[in-house]
Amino acid sequence: MAQQLQAAAGSRVAVPCCSTGRIARPSSSSRSSSRPGSSRAARRPAPQGRLEVACSLNNSTGSTVTKPAKLEARDTLRLALPSKGRMAEDTLQLLKDCQLSVVKPNPRQYVARISQLPGLEVWFQRATDVVRKIIYGDVDLGIVGLDMLAEIGNDDPGTRGATQACTTAFADVNSLEQLRAMPWSEQSPLRVVTGYQNIARKFFAEKGFEHVVLLSADGALEAAPAMGSADIILDLVSTGVTLRENNLKQIEGGTIMHSEGALVANRRALLERKGLLEVCHELIERLEAHLTADKYYSVIANMRGSSAEEVSQRLLSAPGLAGLSGPTVSRVYTLGPDGRAQPHLYAAVICVAKKQLYPAVKEIRKVGGSGVLVQPMTYIFDEEPARWRNLLDTLGVDPKTVDVA
């Protein structure tokens, strides 16, 4: 669920969805650089219904969301989820993997429930509205990309919680410094097409760009530079395939932020709505335990040895076999000639990082192991999630006042 925000420029501007944000430009074989004012940089009128001038960097301010004076009284708690796109699919799958399946009896309805969390309504909303409704207090919790939180929330302190990047089609523009050095002017400004107006405005102002016009578009941002209606694009980028297919490349120094899905909440709701902190605790604990476990395999191996201590010593001395807190070693029994159970081997259970599985299997064999079994892990519960402690500290809440037993 991670992505990157980037910007692109040139005859073609592309900003694909991804886990980090940067500026991209086309390869050197695509075309040469066009300076503002040159014949190759001539402006073409934006096609109707496609692009429109949204604002100038120098004479506009970011949109703000006005928060209500108090929360609306209601008996239920509300969780907002994205209704469409990759983020929506990944979120539902993650909740399902955490044994929190979202039940939606009618696919046309926007309200659903989670059986394991009675009293919690699930509302499906557009990603932008998830953030807005959290700020308004219409919903209490939400799962949304950090890029959307930054764009709509404007760093609002009442919310807790892709990388965005710039992309260009200018063949000889490889860095943000080179892009800034081009002779942009009030009559010929840098034209940026993006769906992230607030983020773009803040980014280019911080980077010292004086003449910038932000444009909005309804999809197909990659076509804007080729059509001559924009110089660069700024959007989410994941793999960069879309950039390359449209002769665009990321610009060095154009990474704006790294985005991923996050559980966010209305601060006032956390403090005032009865039962919300308890629901938030369960969500945090389930999500963190599953995401941690997803990095590991549970490995079980038969071990020859004279004692559990001796087997443990061999495992602890081998690289990558110590597990999270050391191996668990127990007896393996077989049926003896007299029909009674007799100790035969030892069984060792350890957690192994997925990326280190095969090297770990080879080490197990070296220290006398055989019959290696590998199993996926669903949860690794800690004594208390660090994020939960951080949340309580941020809110100034005494842990003893929250019933999570």
- SS3 for 116-157 is CCCCEEEEEECHHHHHHHHHHCCCCEEEEEHHHHHHHHCCCC
| pLDDT category of residue 27 using cuts at 50, 70 and 90 | very low
Closest CA to 167 of 229, 227, 244, 52: 244
pLDDT at 405: 77
pLDDT at 7: 56
Question: Does the pLDDT of residue 76 top 90, yes or no?
Answer: yes
Report yes or no on whether pTM surpasses 0.85. no
Question: Does the pLDDT of residue 170 top 80, yes or no?
Answer: no
pLDDT at 296: 97
> pLDDT per residue over 295-352, tens digit each?
999 999 999 999 999 999 999 999 999 999 999 999 999 998 898 998 889 999 999 9
Q: How far apart are CA 242 and CA 255, in angstroms?
A: 17
Question: Does the pLDDT of residue 8 top 60, yes or no?
Answer: no
Q: What are phi and psi of 280, to 5 degrees?
A: -60, -40
Q: How far apart are CA 247 and CA 236, in angstroms?
A: 17
> pLDDT per residue over 185-202, tens digit each?
999 999 999 989 999 999
Task: Please report, for residues 44, 172, 220, 235, 394, the alpha-carbon distance to residue 197 in angstroms, rounded to integers and kept in the order given.
Answer: 22, 26, 16, 10, 29
| pLDDT category of residue 60 using cuts at 50, 70 and 90 | very low
> pLDDT per residue over 108-117, tens digit each?
889 999 999 9
Written as six digits, the tokens of 274 are 């009865």
pLDDT at 5: 63
> pLDDT per residue over 257-272, tens digit each?
888 899 999 999 999 9
Please name the residue that has the structure tokens 């610009």: 251
pLDDT at 171: 73
Q: String of b and e for 44-82 (b: at least 16 CB within 10 Å)?
A: eebeeebbeebbebeeeeeeeeeeeeebeeeeebbbbbb
| pLDDT category of residue 389 using cuts at 50, 70 and 90 | very high
